[in-house]
Amino acid sequence: MVIDRSNVSKDPFQHLAYFLEKLQGLKNYVEFSEKNWEEKLASYNISLSDDDLNLKNFGGDRGHSSNLAKEFPQYQRKACFLMIFSILEEDLNQFCKTITVEQKLRISLSDISDRGIERAKTYLSKVVGIEFPETSAEWEKIKIFRNIRNVLVHAAGYLDEENAEHGKVKRFSEQKDSGLSVEHYARDQINMEPEFLPGVVVTLQKFYELLIEARGNSKVNLLQRRN
C-alpha cells in the first residue's frame, strides 16, 4: 500500500484550527445572505408603488413577493447547507490524512469500509485512537444534518413516511429550535428557517473545539506511551 504524502501541508492541530477559521467565514456569509434577502424584499415592496423603480430593478414584475419572502431564500439556504456539509466531510477526510502522515500509520482512511462522516469517525477512534466525541450533542446533530443532506440530495427535500431516515428528519423538525419546518401539501417537504444555518455553523464550531481537545489528549497519551 502506498500513502500519498505530497498534498499534506498542515499538521493535524493546524488543520483543525484552520477549519474553525473557515467556519467563522461561513457564519458571516450566512448572516450576510439572510440580510440580503431582507433588504431585497424591502426594496421590492417599495418598488410596488413606483412603476419606474419596479421596472428598473425587477423588470416590471409584480409577482415576486412570495419568491423573495420564501422560495428564493429556501433555494439558497438548502444549497448553502449542502456546501457546508460537503466541506465538513472533506475536512474530516483531510484531517484523517494529516494524522496518517504524522504518525506514519499503515492503515489509511481508504481502508475503512464505512462512508462519509462515519468513516472518519471510525478511522479516528479505531485506528488513530482519538477519544472521538461521538456521544456529544454536537455529533448527534451532525448525524441528523447528514440525514437532512440525504433527503435534499436524493429526494429534493421531500419526505417519505416509509423511509426511516426521513422519519428522523421529520422528528428533528418537530423539536423546539430545530430551525426546520415541514410544509404540508400533496407531499411533505422540509424548509429551512433563517436560524437553521447559523445553528449548523455553531454546532460545527463546538464540535471542532471538542475534536481539538480530543486531539490534544491523544497526542499527550501517545507521547507518554513512547516515553
Domain count, the chain: 1
Mean pLDDT score of the chain? 90
| Terminal Cα-to-Cα distance of the chain (whole angstroms) | 29
7, part of any domain = no
Query: For 6-28, what is the mean pLDDT?
Result: 82
In this predicted structure, which of 12-21, 24-33, 80-89, 133-142 has the lowest mean pLDDT?
Answer: 12-21
64, part of any domain = yes
**d(C-alpha 214, C-alpha 132), whole Å:** 7
* β partners of residue 183: 189
What percentage of the chain has pLDDT greater than the value 70?
A: 91
Supply the pTM of this predicted model: 0.88
Q: Is 31 exposed, middle or buried (0-12, 13-18, 19+ CB in 10 A)?
A: middle
SS3 assignment, position 158? strand
Residue 224 pLDDT > 50: no
- Supply the DSSP string of 44-73, one letter for each residue: HHHHTT-HHHHHHHHTT----HHIIIIIHH
**d(C-alpha 111, C-alpha 19), whole Å:** 25
2, part of any domain = no
The C-alpha cell 501517545 sits at 222
Query: For 33-48, what is the mean pLDDT?
Result: 95
Do residues 204 and 145 lie in contact, with contact meaning Cβ atoms separated by under 8 Å?
no
**d(C-alpha 14, C-alpha 221), whole Å:** 19
Q: Cell numbers at residue 172, please?
A: 428533528
The C-alpha cell 409584480 sits at 62
Per residue in 165-206, pLDDT (tens digit) is 999 999 999 998 999 999 998 899 999 999 999 999 999 999
3, part of any domain = no
Domain that holds residue 82: 12-226
Query: For 205-213, what is the mean pLDDT?
Result: 95
- Supply the DSSP string of 11-41, one letter for each residue: -HHHHHHHHHHHHHHHHHHHHHHHHHHHHHH
155, part of any domain = yes
Q: What is the three-state SS of 180-223?
A: EEEEECCCEEEEECCCHHHHHHHHHHHHHHHHHHHHHHHHHHHH
Residue among 36, 34, 85, 70 nearest 194 (CA): 34
168, part of any domain = yes
Per residue in 212-221, pLDDT (tens digit) is 998 876 654 4
- Look up residue 28 and give its amino acid: N
